[in-house]
Amino acid sequence: MRVGLLGGSFNPAHGGHRHVATVALRRLRLGQVWLLVSPGNPLKHPHGMAPLAERLASATALVVDQPRIIATALERQLGTRYTVDTLARLRRLFPHVRFVWLMGADNLRQLPAWRGWLSIVARTPFAVLPRPGYNAEALVGAAASRRRRARRPSAQATLLAGTEAPAWLFLPAREDAASATALRSAAAASTSPMHPTLTSTRG
pLDDT confidence bin for 179, thresholds 50/70/90: low
At residue 123, what are phi and psi to the nearest 5 degrees?
Answer: -115, -10
Q: What per-residue confidence (pLDDT) applies to 183?
A: 45
Asked if residue 62 has pLDDT above 90, the reply is yes
Residue 81's nearest CA partner among 37, 34, 143 is 37
Q: Are 170 and 128 in contact (CB under 8 A)?
A: yes
Mean pLDDT of the chain: 89
Q: Are 99 and 93 in contact (CB under 8 A)?
A: no
pTM for this entry? 0.86
Q: What per-residue confidence (pLDDT) applies to 31?
A: 98
Grouping H, G, I as helix, E, B as strand and the rest as coil, residue 63 is coil
Q: What per-residue confidence (pLDDT) applies to 47?
A: 77
Residues contacting 122, CB < 8 A, separation 6+: 165, 166
pLDDT tens figures, 92-144: 999 999 999 999 999 999 999 999 999 999 999 999 999 999 999 999 999 99
Q: What per-residue confidence (pLDDT) applies to 48?
A: 82
Q: What per-residue confidence (pLDDT) applies to 41?
A: 72
Ramachandran assignment for 168, one of left (phi > 0), alpha (psi -120 to 50 degrees), beta (any other)? beta
Q: Are 69 and 32 in contact (CB under 8 A)?
A: yes
Asked if residue 186 has pLDDT above 70, the reply is no
